[in-house]
Structure formats: C-alpha cells, structure tokens
Amino acid sequence: MTATSTPTLTKRPRQIQLAPSLMTMDLDQFKEQISFLNERANLYHIDIMDGHFVPNITLSPWFIEQTRKISDLPMSAHLMVTDAPFWVQQLIDIKCEMICMPAEVSNGVAFRLIDQIHDAGLKAGMVLNPETPVDTILPYIDLLDKVTIMTIDPGFAGQRFLSVCLDKIVHLRKLRDEHGYGYQIEMDGSTNLAHWKLISDADPDIYVIGRSGLFGLTDRIEDSWDQMVHEYEQSTGYRFDNGRYISKD
C-alpha cells in the first residue's frame, strides 16, 4: 500500500492511544487544559529540543515534573537533541515513563542507552525523521517499546505533511506481525482534519495531536476536543468512544 492509496476501511474494533503534544497547548490555560485532558488522553507527548538538533528550544524535564503535579498520565519525552546520553540520564533521574531518542544521533550508543533506560524500569523508543529509513533501527528494533514516525520536518509546529512517511507505519506493522516485536507505532506531525483518513488507513497505535488537530481549533479545550472527535469520525468512519475508535456498523 502506498501512502496515497485508500483501501477499504478495516471493519474490526481497534484501540488507539491519543498523546496531546503539550508544546502546542495554551500555557495561559495550562492547569485547565491538563485537568480536562487527564480524563480523555492516554499519555502526554513532551518535545525536548536543544537548539542544535533543531533550531528551537522547547520543553524540559522540569516541565514534566511540573505537569506531574496535576496529572498521573504517563509522559513520553520526544528528544530532538544532539547529546542523547545527557538528556536520557536527566529523564531517567525523574523517571519519565517513555524516553524516545532520535535515531539519527543515537546509533553508536543505541544499545547502551536502551539498556540504561530499561534497567531503570522505563520504556525506550526511537524516532525516525522523514528522511530516515526504518532500516536504520533494525539492529535493535526488537528491544524497542515504541517507534515514532515523523510525518513533518521536526522542530516546528505547522510544517508540511509528508504523506510518504506513512509507508513506514505500514512497514513497521508488517515487521511486528512477522517477527512478534513488542513496539508500539506512533505518528507525529500534522494530525488533523486534512489527514485523518490517510493516517487512519496507515493504522498507527498512537496519535500525537497538536495545535492543528486539537489545541488551535477553538478557544476552549472542551470545544476543541469535541470538534477533533467529530472531524475524525466524519473522515474515517470510525466512532470515538472513551479513548477508543470502534468501527461503525
């Protein structure tokens, strides 16, 4: 299947996880938005950028600690950094539940970092930017708890959606089915009305939702969530139900 094909919708119940990207939330309404999302999201996506791997500098381990004061949801850190070992240790120190490293700078220390994360009782993931093939992580793919596929160029919200990257999701699902790997498949980038159908057809396990798909839809998080659900249902033919998408009759 290519990223632009539209196969017949699979009529099987399926459960996915929703991971709001807190980099894109309205920090003026931080407590209100987190309190609302705590009852609906499955986990939180925390972008950590160092200003070198990508130009921006964003969230940090400190932000995770502050969010934990008002949320018990798991935190998934998406590292966009050049010095992965430095940041991995900081996230281990605060017991961040999922630590996802950029494959582009992790090869050479990947086995050590994955073992270090697992030894701390946490989960390890790798992130593949648009130009990075799945083959890059094959030597240690069996050790991963999550693989994140970027469908935009990293570092900024609002980048152009790269539909060709959805083929990696299909590839990863096939590898997992064939070999019994245990990783979850996450997609990150421009998850919104314009792309819900394409993304749903590729069938990732975790959807990272940001400004264009959630936080920027209306001025109120309650209304934005309802609009997101409506847009997904209308685009895909799946019904949203308490954190799950279930096929319609």
Instruction: Write the pLDDT tens digit of every residue in 15-50.
Output: 789 999 999 998 889 999 999 999 999 999 999 998
pLDDT, residue 58, reads 80
| Of 168, 209, 171, nearest in space to 190 by CA | 209
pLDDT, residue 106, reads 93
pTM of the model: 0.90
> Per the residue annotation, which of 26, 28, 47, 93 is the catalytic one?
47
Measured on CA atoms in the order 80, 81, 82, 87, is the torsion positive or negative? negative
pLDDT, residue 16, reads 85
Q: Would residue 8 count as lying in a domain?
A: no
Structural domain including 171 reads 17-247
Q: Would residue 140 count as lying in a domain?
A: yes
Q: Is 167 a catalytic residue?
A: no
Q: How far is CA 182 from the centre of its chain?
A: 16
Q: Would residue 3 count as lying in a domain?
A: no
pLDDT, residue 153, reads 86
Distances (CA, A) of 84 to 106, 187, 202, 211, 229: 7, 21, 29, 26, 35
Q: Would residue 171 count as lying in a domain?
A: yes
Q: Is 115 a catalytic residue?
A: no
Q: Would residue 102 count as lying in a domain?
A: yes
Q: Would residue 2 count as lying in a domain?
A: no
Which segments in the chain show pLDDT lower than 50?
Answer: 1-11, 249
The tens digit of pLDDT for each residue in 81-95 reads: 999 999 999 999 999
Nearest-10 Cα torsion for 211, 90, 154, 159: 10
Q: How far is Cα 160 from Cα 189, in angstroms, rounded to an integer? A: 9
pLDDT, residue 9, reads 41
Q: How many independent structural domains does the chain possess?
A: 1
Q: Would residue 76 count as lying in a domain?
A: yes
CATH number of the domain where residue 213 is located = 3.20.20.70
> Per the residue annotation, which of 26, 145, 167, 188 is the catalytic one?
188
pLDDT, residue 157, reads 61
pLDDT, residue 13, reads 60
pLDDT, residue 156, reads 63
Q: Would residue 124 count as lying in a domain?
A: yes
